[in-house]
Structure 1
Amino acid sequence: MTEFPTEPPSASMPERASETTPESPWPLRVLSENLKRYFERAPEAWIEGQLIEANVRGGHAYLTMRDLDVEYSLSLTVWSSVLRGLDAKPEVGSRVVARVKPSFWLKNGRLSMNALDIKPVGIGDLMVRLEKLRKALFDEGLFAPERKQPLPFLPQRIGLITGRDSDAEKDVIKNATLRWPGVKFEIRYSAVQGVNAVSQVIAALKDLDNNPDVDVIVIARGGGSFEDLFPFSDEQLVRAVAAAQTPVVSAIGHEADRPILDDVADLRASTPTDAAKRIVPDFHEEKSRIDQARERMEYAITRFVDRELKNLESLRTRPVLAAPEGMVTVRKEDLLRYRERSYSAMTHRLRREVDAIHHFKTQVRALSPQKTLDRGYSVVQKADDLSIVRQPAEAPAGTPLFIRLAGGKIAAMSEGEIADAN
Structure 2
Amino acid sequence: MGKNIFYFLFLVLCMSLFIRCTNKDTSEEKANYDKQINAADLPKGNRPMTMFEDDESPSIMYDNKDRWFRVNQLMQVIQKGKDSVQISLYSPVGLTDVKVYAKLANYDKRFLIYEFSQVPAFHRSFHQLPLANGKHNYKLENGETVTIDKINDLSSEEIKFSVESNDPLYVKLKKIKSARLVQFSDQYHKIQPDRYLPMNPVLAKEAILMIINYSYVLSHPLYYDTFMNYDKYIKEQGETDTDGSLNWHGNAVDVDGVYDYFTKAQIEQVYSNYIDGRTLNMAMVGGENPWGGGPLASQFEVDYVVRQYIGLMGVWSHEYSHHSGYDHSSNLCLGGDIGGGQRDMLANLYKYLIYLNDLPFTDADILKGYTKTGYLLGTYKKPIFTIDPKNPFLLKYKGEGSWK
* TM-score, normalisation: structure 1: 0.24
Larger helix proportion of the pair: 1
* TM-score, normalisation: structure 2: 0.24
* Higher CA-based Rg: 1
